[in-house]
Homo-oligomer: A and B are copies of this chain.
Amino acid sequence: MSTTESDVVGHRLYDLVAALMPPMRSITGNGVRATLDLVRAALPAQVPLTVHEVPTGTPVLDWTIPREWNVAGARLIGPDGRVVLDAADNPLHLLGYSIPMRARMPLAELRHHLYSMPDRPDWVPYRTSYYNDAWGFCLTDRQLAALPDGEYQVEIDTSLTEGSLTYGEIVLPGTSDEEFLVTTHLCHPAMANDNSSGIAVAIELAAALAARTRRYTYRLLFIPGTIGSITWLALNPGVIGRIRHGLVLTGLGDRGAPTYKRSRRGDAIIDRATARALAETGRPHRIVDFSPYGYDERQFCSPGFDLPVGRFGRSQHGEYPEYHTSADNLEFVTPESLADSFSILRRTIEICEADRVWRNTSPYGEPQLGRRGLYRSIGATMNRASIEMGLLWVLNLADGTRGLLDIAERADLPFDAVANAADALAGVGLLVEEPSVAGASASLAAASLAGASAASVVIG
């Protein structure tokens, strides 16, 4: 990506992050719908966003769609009658999924429902209680310390009702029905890195993918964390077996080094393609092994599915103090980091698109390259030594069992050197593509999954 393009993309992404901050998001409710409206508005017209509504009570795998949560308002009023906290000022002030509550109580009793961070006295923590009925407020520790004794008025006007879980989905068909899955969670309110950055980058990826030829069918999901991926998996048993590569996007805008977390398989094509895209940057980056703690990769990589899905981001949850606080704001993310994350993801996709299994049609001895004029056909933009070595390596290793990623790794050549050599050789008939056999085991896993009988209403 050129400096100019990177600059343009970075600022577009940064503006998107800013635009995505306000809605009162949670795992269900109108905050999610408002966010999906912003997503649709940011997408090019030709990119279709489908919004799904899954009714409360629907069984999804081992879980059940919870009641829908909406917030009319939430205020804490002090002994002097003044408003101490108002969720309208900052969605983080309200404990996520707070039950409705109207009550008066002394400070001592109220304290059981107040959350602050003594070691970060100016930050508001982000707290939720999805599956246990609770209510509460989050505030800075300085605010907490300054609260005078007396009677406080709690006014939490929320509703928990039969409704639905909402998520968004973009499908961009490719020449194949094999799929590349990209997911991002959209349940965290008012925070820039976690995960407005993910939503923004997914939008930019969708636009970029819509503008290019696609071998794979791309599916982008905007889902609430955990329950969203579980819901999608429950509702799409027929799609699961077609997923060849997948990425969960989280925390893409902070100043940390880009970080890839491997799939449970550890050596899937997506694991190796991302590693190569990272290596090609020539800048510091991290690759970490799978663990069952984290974001939605936990669900995609659960043992029954075991999908080739990794996670891409920068600093990981728990590694930075701003995580899940009001300090994860627009100063915490940068256009440069957002553009860099997008660039690495786009490159990863390019590698997956270009990675194929070829078979040398003239495998007995070296074919005579000179009389086919292969060198000229590639042109002079590459280092000549690399061109020749790329041709020889591809001919030697393209025996119908290895992909171009395998060859690039074995030959220790840039991926493009190998991919360009393969294109040139295919152009003169010295290579033919092998039918893909990837994902057969994933198909079997999906076939044995007793499909959830949940109904899904498409409204988008």
A216-224, A242-250, A359-367: which one contacts chain B?
A359-367
Hey, which chain B residues are within 8 Å of A299, CB to CB? Answer: 365-366
Interface residue ranges, A against B (CB under 8 Å) = 61-63, 131-132, 226, 229-230, 233-234, 264, 291-293, 298-299, 301-305, 360, 362-368, 370-371, 388-389, 392-393, 395-399, 411, 449
Partner of A370, one of B131, B370, B396: B131
CA distance A449 to B411 in the complex (A): 27
Contact A131-B61, Cβ < 8 Å, known A363-B302, A397-B303: no
What residues on B are CB-neighbors of A399 within 8 Å?
303
Q: In the assembled complex, how far is the CB of residue A392 from the closest CB belonging to chain B, in whole angstroms? A: 4
Q: With A302-B396, A392-B292, A392-B293 as given contacts, are A61 and B364 in contact (CB-CB < 8 Å)?
A: yes
Q: List 10 A-B contacts (CB under 8 A).
A: A234-B365, A292-B392, A292-B395, A293-B388, A298-B366, A303-B360, A303-B399, A304-B360, A304-B363, A364-B449
Q: List 8 tightest A-B contacts by C-beta distance, closest first.
A: A304-B363, A304-B364, A292-B396, A292-B392, A303-B399, A62-B367, A61-B365, A303-B363
With A and B bound together, what is the CA distance between A364 and B132 in angstroms? 24
Q: How far is the CA of A366 from the CA of B449 in the complex (A)?
A: 14
Kindly name the residue among A363, A365, A370 whose own CB sees the greatest number of chain B CB atoms within 10 A. Answer: A365
What B residues does A370 contact at CB under 8 A? 131-132
Task: Knowing A392-B293, A396-B292, say if A302 contacts B366 (CB, 8 Å).
Answer: yes
Partner of A304 from B229, B365, B397 at Cβ < 8 Å: B365
* Extra contacts besides A229-B365, A293-B389, A303-B363 (6): CB < 8 Å: A131-B370, A291-B389, A298-B396, A302-B395, A302-B396, A364-B449
Chain B residue numbers with a CB within 8 Å of A229 are 365
Q: How far is the CA of A303 from the CA of B304 in the complex (A)?
A: 37
Tell whether, in the assembled complex, residue B303 and residue A398 are in contact, meaning their CB atoms are under 8 Å apart: yes
A371 close to B131 (CB less than 8 A): yes
Query: How many angstroms between the C-alpha atoms of A269 and B293 in the bound complex?
Result: 27
The complex places the Cα of A138 from the Cα of B449 at a distance, in Å, of 73
How far does the Cβ of A117 sit from chain B's closest Cβ, in whole Å? 19
Residue of B nearest to A449 (CB): B364
Q: Which residues of B contact A302 (CB under 8 A)?
A: 363-366, 395-396
Contact between chains at A365 and B62 (CB < 8 Å): yes
Q: How far is the CB of A411 from chain B (nearest CB, A)?
A: 8
Residues from chain B with Cβ under 8 Å of A264 in the complex: 396
Report the Cα distance A292→B399, complex, angstroms.
Answer: 14
Q: Which of B230, B397, B398 contacts A365 (CB 8 A)?
A: B230
Closest to A293 in B: B392
> Could you tell me the distance in whole angstroms from the C-beta of A389 to the nearest C-beta in chain B?
6
Complex CA–CA separation, A233 to B363 (angstroms)? 12
For A401, the closest partner residue in chain B by CB is B303
Q: How far is the CA of A371 from the CA of B395 in the complex (A)?
A: 57
Which of A61, A395, A399 has the most chain B CB within a 10 Å cutoff? A61
Least Cβ–Cβ distance between A365 and chain B, in angstroms: 4
A365 touches B63 (CB 8 A): yes
For A393, give the chain B residue with the smallest CB separation: B292
User: Given A264-B396, A395-B292, is A305 in contact with B389 using a C-beta cutoff of 8 Å?
Assistant: no
Contact partner, A301, options B367, B389, B396, B449, Cβ 8 Å:
B396
Q: Which residue of B lies closest to A298 (CB)?
A: B366
How far, in whole Å, are A295 and B367 apart by their CA atoms in the complex? 15
Instruction: Give Cα A305–Cα B397 distance, bound, in whole angstroms.
Output: 12
Contacts of A368 in B (CB 8 A): 62-63, 131
- Nearest to A132 among chain B residues (CB) is B370
Q: A226, A302, A364, A396 — which one has the most chain B CB atoms within 10 A of its CB?
A: A364
